[in-house]
């Protein structure tokens, strides 16, 4: 990992207590980094820990272990919460635009709220900033006088994005920002996010279960399974030659034309299999029960994310698999 990364996550773990005295392992020893201006995609099936990771990055939840450092300073740890001043540099867009906006406030008040909380500029300057923000996301200044219920889902998500941009963050965490929208609207929001990122130069962590969306938007991808990152790679490399059997399973399940890479289509039926019990995790690789390539060590020892001894030392690909690079 690079110490000069904008966002640096080390050993992030989150467990939740259960009534029977057992522990629910939602996130297990996750480490990653995001460089300034980079867009990192986080993908995986529902229940793999993506949204938990997003909340921990923002300091909306407290980790059981591990740290999150942002702009060179520790941001989150089991004993430390996010300083109020630091929150201006990282913002979040949530999945559901219908519940993330206060229905009792006018849109202008919602977009202006971060500026009011952090006392940015004079009142007249904040009002002008709201108008500019509304226009920057494809809405009019007059829309600031309306209430959220007067807008469609796609328009509400634009409002949420405008609010997130009010403080000019260096990093935006977007948690499934288009999954609650109609397919016809999704591309508009994705294009808006791309335009904003290119215009502002900010970095982005884009969380999604949809690999095709991530391919469209992200430069690099981290694949999660059962609370762990099992593979990271540049986007095109991941799609051209997926290294982890689970990544191959995800790609095989995509509804698309036949790929020139045969290996991508292996094991599509495994994509609908059930996940292991988080309260009773397997002793070895969590994907072993679904993997047709498994060997004895897979069921006994959990693999560690890293470059294989047989892989190219210049490669940006990291894999948690005992069999890599034999499967590549």
CA distance 173 to 179: 15
Per-residue confidence (pLDDT) for residue 270, from 0 to 100: 43
Locate the DSSP E strands across the chain.
7-17, 23-34, 39-43, 65-70, 73-76, 90-93, 171-175, 203-208, 220-225, 228-234, 318-319
Could you tell me the two tokens for 119? Answer: 């006392």
What is the pLDDT at residue 315? 62
pLDDT for res 275: 72
Residue 3's pLDDT is 63
pLDDT score at 173: 97
Question: What six digits make up the tokens of 41?
Answer: 């995609």
Predicted pLDDT at 313: 46
pLDDT at 256: 55
Angle at 42 between CA 40 and CA 43, to 5 degrees: 140
Buried b (16+ CB within 10 A) or exposed e, 225-261: bbbbbbbbbebeebbeebbbbbbbbbbbbbeeeeeee
Question: Rounded to an integer, what distance in angstroms lies between the CA atom of residue 288 and that of residue 282?
Answer: 9
- Give the pLDDT confidence score for residue 184 in this predicted structure: 85
CB of 284 closer than 8 Å to CB of 300: yes
Phi, psi of 305 (to 5 degrees): -70, 125
Mean pLDDT by 10 residues, the chain (328 residues): 84 92 91 96 93 94 94 88 77 91 96 94 94 97 97 96 96 94 91 94 95 92 96 95 93 64 39 66 88 92 78 71 76
> Is the CA virtual torsion 270, 246, 25, 300 positive or negative?
positive
> Token pair for residue 34?
């995001």
Closest CA to 50 of 221, 195, 186, 198: 221
Residue among 235, 202, 228 nearest 70 (CA): 202
């Amino acid at each position: 990992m690079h110490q000069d990364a904008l966002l640096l996550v080390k050993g992030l773990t989150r467990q939740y207590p259960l009534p029977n005295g057992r522990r629910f392992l939602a996130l297990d020893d996750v480490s990653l980094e995001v460089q300034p201006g980079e867009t990192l995609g986080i993908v995986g099936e529902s229940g793999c820990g993506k949204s938990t990771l997003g909340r921990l990055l923002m300091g909306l939840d407290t980790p059981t272990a591990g740290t999150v450092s942002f702009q060179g300073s520790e941001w989150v740890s089991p004993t430390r919460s996010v300083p109020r001043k630091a929150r201006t540099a990282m913002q979040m867009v949530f999945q559901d635009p219908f519940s993330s906006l206060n229905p009792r406030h006018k849109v202008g008040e919602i977009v202006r709220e971060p500026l009011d909380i952090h006392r940015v500029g004079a009142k007249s300057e904040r009002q002008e900033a709201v108008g500019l923000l509304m226009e920057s996301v494809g809405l009019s200044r007059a829309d600031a006088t309306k209430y959220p219920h007067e807008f469609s889902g796609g328009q509400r998500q634009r409002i949420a994005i405008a609010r997130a941009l009010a403080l000019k963050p260096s990093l935006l965490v977007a948690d499934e920002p288009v999954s609650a929208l109609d397919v016809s609207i999704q591309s508009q929001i994705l294009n808006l996010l791309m335009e904003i990122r290119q215009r502002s130069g900010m970095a982005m962590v884009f969380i999604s279960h949809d690999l095709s969306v991530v391919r469209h938007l992200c430069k690099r991808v981290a694949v999660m399974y059962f609370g762990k990152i099992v593979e990271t790679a540049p986007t095109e490399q991941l799609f051209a030659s997926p290294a982890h059997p689970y990544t191959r399973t995800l790609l095989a399940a995509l509804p698309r034309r036949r790929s020139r890479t045969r290996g991508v289509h292996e094991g599509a039926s495994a994509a609908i299999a059930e996940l292991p019990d988080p309260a009773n995790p397997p002793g070895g690789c969590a994907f072993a029960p679904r993997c047709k390539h498994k060997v004895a060590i897979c069921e006994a020892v959990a693999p560690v994310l890293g470059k294989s001894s047989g892989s190219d030392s210049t490669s940006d690909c990291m894999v948690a698999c005992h069999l890599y690079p034999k499967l590549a």
